Amino acid sequence: MKNDDKKTLDQNESNKPDESEKPQSESAPDKDTAEEKDELTMLKEENEAIIKELDEYKDKYLRLLAEYDNYRKRAAKEKAEIYPEATARTIEAFLPLADNFERAAAVETSDEKFKSGIMMIYSQLVEVLKTLDVETIDRVGEEFDPNLENAVSTVTDEKLGQNVVAQVYQKGYKRGDKIIRHAMVSVANCG
């Protein structure tokens, strides 16, 4: 072969596209597309996981908010129930004191200063009970009501009707609708 022919052959070969480059150029876009699809799929999965986690946190938050609201309502209800009950129990603890002052005031004595002192203390106690909205249950002559009174004895009295309170042995007390202590009474003509 001549040199000129050899040069032409070399030039022709150099002009030919390299076969190893051809598949690379065709596979590169496929490879990029596959990588992008994998990355997109991974991002979608990550996004779904984050959304799911966010929904779980939102659900927990809403449940906690509801629990707190229920707690607040329950605490307010308990407070509303505890105050009247505690007040009634405190008043009940003072009732024997009121009974004893009432008995002491009923005793005849020649010492007027002593009797006056007892009456002043008893009056103050009665005023304190009034400021606490405590009412006396003293229903002589009225029909017996087992919701307000305990019948401890019966008497026959033609002047009184049937099932009428004849005598009060111990006063009862109530605050609003709450009975603090039932009155102890005798009932006339019980049947």
Does 9 have pLDDT greater than 70? no
pLDDT tens, position by position, 119-165: 999 999 999 999 999 999 988 989 999 999 999 999 988 888 888 99
Q: pTM above 0.85?
A: no
User: What pLDDT was estimated at residue 3?
Assistant: 55
Cα–Cα separations (whole angstroms), residue 103 to 15, 18, 145: 133, 127, 25
Angle at 175 between CA 100 and CA 125, to 5 degrees: 35
Q: What is the Cα 101 distance to its own chain's centre?
A: 41
Q: For each of the domains in the chain, give its residue range(s) and CATH number, in order of start.
A: 55-132 (3.90.20), 135-191 (2.30.22.10)
Q: Which of 35-39, 93-97, 138-142 has the lowest mean pLDDT?
A: 35-39
User: What pLDDT was estimated at residue 121?
Assistant: 93
Does 26 have pLDDT greater than 90? no
User: What pLDDT was estimated at residue 32?
Assistant: 73
Side-chain-side CA neighbours of residue 48 (13 Å):
6
Q: Per-residue pLDDT averaged across 4-22, rounded?
A: 52
Question: For residues 55 and 50, what is the distance between their CA atoms, to the nearest angstrom?
Answer: 9
Share of the chain above pLDDT 90, in %: 59
* Polymer length of the chain: 191
Does 8 have pLDDT greater than 70? no
In the DSSP assignment, the letter for residue 143 is: B
- With residue 189 as reference, give the H or E element that holds it: none
